[in-house]
A and B are shown apart, each in its own frame.
Chain A
Amino acid sequence: MANADDIPAHQARRGNPVRAAALIIYATFALLILTIPQSLTNWLNDMNESPVQQVLLRAAEGVQTASHRVGLDIPYRTARATFHMLTGKEDD
């Protein structure tokens, strides 16, 4: 099996597992933030208040509002409500 470090640069760019991992990690996080935006807002709300936390919280609230307007959060809210209806569970 070829060692990725020995592969020419143009091929390595295509087959670089670290680059692919980075794309998967950040794209997954971004998609989750867009589709379940309230999770980020709740997490930031639970943090100790600080100037950085306030800036991040405002940004997260902006994402949540945008997500809600476009309807990106609908699949999660619908699926969660269906899960609760089927199991009789409730959010805390």
Chain B
Amino acid sequence: MLFPTISFAAFFAVVFPITWLLNDRNAWKKWFLVAASYYFYAFWKIEFTLLLLASSVGNFYTALLLGHLSDGRARRIIFWLAVTANLALLGVFKYYNFFTASLIDALGSLGISANLPFIELALPIAISFLTFHALSYVIDVYDRTLKPTTSLVDILLYISFFPHLVAGPIVRANKFLAQTTRCSRMSDVKLAHSVFLIIGGLFKKVIIANYLSTDFVDGVFRAPADFSSLDLLLGMYAYALQIYCDFSAYTDIAIGVANLLGYEFPQNFNQPYRALTVQDFWRRWHITLSTWLRDYLYIRALGGNRRGRVRTYANLLVTMGLGGLWHGASWNFCIWGLMHGTALVVERLLDLTGAPRSRIAAALMWLVTFHFVCFAWVFFRASSFDTSLVYLKTLFSDGSWRTTMTPLVGCVFVLGALTQIIPARWFAALQARYEAVPLALKVAVPFATIFMIAVAAPGGIPPFIYFQF
């Protein structure tokens, strides 16, 4: 069930009032939301709900055990078993065939013929997100920064809650569980903020991301050798805008929908293409993933910057390489992550992480960062490493300045760029004005916006890019 569909609208029209009617009976409300979330997930494949249930129940009891055991070897063993089990789930479904194929290729290049078995398994949607949610809970309980909950429904809801289940944002266990222990307060609902996130998300996905994708980016990346340098340059920029509008749309709608149900999710994007450094970019792009990787992998598992310079640089590369691979079973994702890791290392080596000394320096830093990020997206988007190389080779060798970009795509491209140019405070001011208008106008704004989106919408809505992760 995709957010920008009538199916989801009908689903939410039922879930919203029942959630609030049950608000005084918190346990009932949570069970109802769990049932609704499992129904939402079962829309893709009903069998996957068993995986969701097994992961939730397994992590719930493991955390209880970790909470009861005193510090020592047994506790450490249980913890590592839980981490291994969670990662094994991800490994089997998402990476087994990829690593098997890579191993066969590697052995083949050494002249060794290996006949390793492949497994035919459908990739459960959102497995990367639910694994990170589960790991967040188990690690926090092991570190004793969070007490294990004795309420199974709280964990079932934390891992399966439908707004964040499929593509984030990745909500930390301590932040979410603090909200499940009490009834939601009506004052938790920030109406204007939620309405603007939802209609803005619909616009970004249905209009900007979809037209950029179907009318330009898909073709350019399918056969880059058939396009001019200008098309490939514009394709690189267009994909940067497409993936931002696609992914931020999903999490914006998720945050808005969760808030209408009385829950608060963290911000996931903050105009990432305004970043002056790659470090700054990761403070603005998929914030909940980058902070998850920073806290649990870079600092907790690898030691962060506490073990000397060389180790810090190695830690950055490992974190970003694994972060890249988290997105999908392909070396291209790993290369994309390693490129970002290398950029973070270079920024530290050149001491570029501080504020720029002048406006010219800031402009130059922005130009370099933006083009680095766009350049790296080529590896992220291309179907294979070879296609990425063809793309870059044609980009720098064709030299032709003709373009196949249509006026419609041009307009959508400009709208996408505006999402980065318009200052965030303008949106805040608009929300404040919306709060003050009469109810009839409060209805007119989302109605008129969705009406205009429907007028200009393409025939079908492709799935969100991050669904595959």
Count chain A residues whose beta carbon lies closer than 8 angstroms to a beta carbon of B: 33
Q: Which residues of the partner chain B approach A31 to less than 8 Å between Cβ atoms?
A: 443, 447, 451
Q: Which residues of the partner chain B approach A91 to less than 8 Å between Cβ atoms?
A: 459
In the complex the two chains form, is B459's CB within 8 Å of A79's CB? no
Q: Which residues of the partner chain A approach B186 to less than 8 Å between Cβ atoms?
A: 4-5, 12, 16-18
Q: Is the interface of B mostly helix, strand, loop or mixed?
A: helix
In the complex the two chains form, is A76's CB within 8 Å of B455's CB? yes
1/0 per residue, CB under 8 A from B, across A11-30: the answer is: 01000111011111111110
Contact of A25 among B13, B185, B407, B451 (CB under 8 A): B13
Count chain B residues whose beta carbon lies closer than 8 angstroms to a beta carbon of A: 34
Given contacts A21-B260, A28-B450, contact A92 B185 (CB under 8 A): no
CB distance from B403 to the nearest CB of A (A): 17
In the complex the two chains form, is B451's CB within 8 Å of A35's CB? yes
A40 at the interface (CB under 8 A from B): yes
Q: Which residues of the partner chain B approach A89 to less than 8 Å between Cβ atoms?
A: 408, 458
B195 at the interface (CB under 8 A from A): yes
> Once the chains are docked, how many angstroms separate the CA of A27 from the CA of B12?
14
Q: Which residues 51-90 of A have a CB within 8 angstroms of B?
A: 75-76, 79-80, 83, 87, 89
1/0 per residue, CB under 8 A from A, across B102-120: the answer is: 0000000000000000000
Q: Which residues of the partner chain A approach B455 to less than 8 Å between Cβ atoms?
A: 76, 79-80, 83
B467 at the interface (CB under 8 A from A): no
B151 at the interface (CB under 8 A from A): no
Q: Which residues of the partner chain A approach B189 to less than 8 Å between Cβ atoms?
A: 17-18, 21
Q: Is the interface of A mostly helix, strand, loop or mixed?
A: helix
In the complex the two chains form, is B446's CB within 8 Å of A24's CB? yes
Given contacts A18-B20, A21-B194, A24-B446, contact A40 B6 (CB under 8 A): yes
Given contacts A3-B187, A23-B439, A24-B443, contact A29 B13 (CB under 8 A): yes
Q: Which residues of the partner chain B approach A79 to less than 8 Å between Cβ atoms?
A: 452, 455
Interface residues of B, Cβ cutoff 8 Å to A: 6-7, 9, 12-13, 16-17, 20, 185-187, 189-191, 194-195, 260, 406-408, 439, 442-443, 446-447, 450-452, 454-456, 458-460
Please give me the 9 A-B residue pairs with the lowest Cβ-Cβ distance, nearest first.
A92-B459, A4-B187, A17-B189, A43-B6, A27-B443, A79-B455, A4-B186, A17-B191, A31-B447
